Amino acid sequence: MNLTTQGLENQKLENSHEKAITDLFAFTKINTVIDQLVLAFLQRSKSSIKSSSSDADPSVLTETLEYFENEFPKEAPLLKEAIVDLYKQVFSESDLEQINAFYRSEIGERFLTGSSVIEKNIQQIADGWASEASKSAFERAIEYANSN
């Protein structure tokens, strides 16, 4: 095997590893999470720019922020590449194939369906818990304050 052939073999291995990661991302909707991260960081960056630009001309700032808002998402592929690299470091191609085989199985499909239902309801559960936890903790705090 010469260097060129070896390079092509390494590229095929790399591509099959990335294909396994891409499949996993599809099963677990990691791409959606990445998209949400990009949007959250976009909003945070815009807020930071606004707060550090109080002396800027408002129309120039508005125009700059609009341009920034269009440009920022173009950087998203770099984030995805970094996350793919992280998965490559943590999981071998064999690991990923086994994980993906699970998600393709009947129980894996049920897990994904169940996870989707849980995900939809977890915010409601957490909101109810937060309300009750705040109420209980505040009542105990008042009792403590009144006893001292």
One domain for residues 139 and 86: no
Confidence at 14, pLDDT banded by 50, 70, 90: low
One domain for residues 22 and 63: yes
Return the higher-pLDDT residue of 12 and 94.
94
Q: How far apart are CA 23 and CA 21, in angstroms?
A: 5
One domain for residues 83 and 140: no
Beta-carbon contacts of 30 under 8 Å, excluding residues fewer than 6 positions away, are 24, 83
Tell whether the torsion through CA atoms of 27, 29, 31 and 33 is positive or negative.
negative
Any idea which residue has 């707060």 for tokens?
Answer: 51
Indicate the pTM of the whole model. 0.68
Count of structural domains, the chain: 2
One domain for residues 88 and 72: yes
| Host domain of residue 132 | 108-148
Write out pLDDT tens, residues 50-92: 999 989 999 999 999 999 999 999 999 999 999 999 999 999 9
Give, as one character, the DSSP assignment of residue 52.
Answer: T
